[in-house]
Structure 1
Amino acid sequence: MFRKPREEKHMKDPWRSREHCVDCGVLGNWRGILEGGLLCAVVGQRNVMGRTSRVVVVGGKETGKTSILERAIFANSTVDKQYIPTVEDTYVGIVETERGTREKLRFYDTAGLDARNHCLPQHYHALADGYIIVYSISDNLSFQLLTDIKKDIDRHREKKDVPIIVLGNKSDLAATHRAVDTATAERWATAEKLRFWEVNVQDRTLLMAPIMNLASRLNPQPSKTSFPQLTMGRKNKD
Structure 2
Amino acid sequence: MATAIPYNYSYIFKYIIIGDMGVGKSCLLHQFTEKKFMSDCPHTIGVEFGTRILEVSGQKIKLQIWDTAGQERFRAVTRSYYRGAAGAFMVYDITRRSTFEHLTNWLTDARNLTNPNTVILLIGNKSDLAQTNREVTYEEASTFAQQNCLLFLETSAKTGENVEEAFLESAKKIYANVRDGSLDLNAADSGVRSKTNRQIETEDLSRTNINQASNKSNCAC
Note whether the superposition's TM-score is higher than 0.5.
yes
**By how many angstroms is 1:218 displaced?**
2.2
User: Hey, what does 2:80 align to over in structure 1?
Assistant: 123
Q: In the alignment, is residue 104 of structure 1 matched against residue 57 of structure 2? A: no
The question of whether the paired residues in 1 share the 8 Å contact of 2:122 and 2:145 is answered with yes
CA apart distance, 1:187 = 0.5
1:124–1:143 Cα change, 3 Å: same
- Corresponding residue for 2:52? 93
| Mapping of residues 1-238 of structure 1, within 5 Å | 42=5, 45-46=7-8, 48-50=9-11, 52-79=12-39, 81=40, 83-87=41-45, 88-97=47-56, 99-113=57-71, 121-157=78-114, 159-220=115-176, 222-223=179-180
Structure 1 runs not aligned, ≥5 long: 1-5, 7-41, 225-238
Offset from partner CA, 1:67-121 (integer Å, 9 cap, x none): 0110111112212x2x411011111111222x2422101000100146x887774
TM, length-normalised to structure 1: 0.67
Shift in alpha-carbon separation, 1:162–1:120, aligned structure 2, 3 A: farther
Percentage identity across aligned positions? 24
Taking the aligned partners of 1:122 and 1:201, their CA distance within structure 2 comes to 24
Look up the SS of the partner of 1:105 in the other structure.
Answer: strand
Is there any run of 5+ residues in structure 2 with no aligned partner, and where?
Answer: 182-221
Greater helix share, structure number: 2
- In structure 1, C-alpha distance between the alignment counterparts of 2:113 and 2:19, rounded to whole Å: 16
Distance 1:101 1:203, change over 3 A: farther
Q: Residues of 1 paired with 2:149 and 2:96: CA distance?
A: 23
* Structure exhibiting the larger radius of gyration computed from Cα positions: 1
> Which stretch shifts more, 200-209 or 63-72?
200-209
Letter in 2 for 1:155: N
For 2:62, the aligned partner's letter is K
- How many residues align structurally? 176
- After TM superposition, the score normalised by the length of structure 2 is 0.72
Q: Distance in 2 between matches of 1:213 and 1:119?
A: 30
CA–CA distance in structure 2, aligned partners of residues 63 and 130 of structure 1: 18
State the Cα distance separating 1:212 from its structure 2 match.
0.4
Please report the RMSD computed on the Cα atoms of aligned residues, expressed in angstroms.
2.3
Q: Which has the higher contact order (CA 8 A, sep 6+)?
A: 2
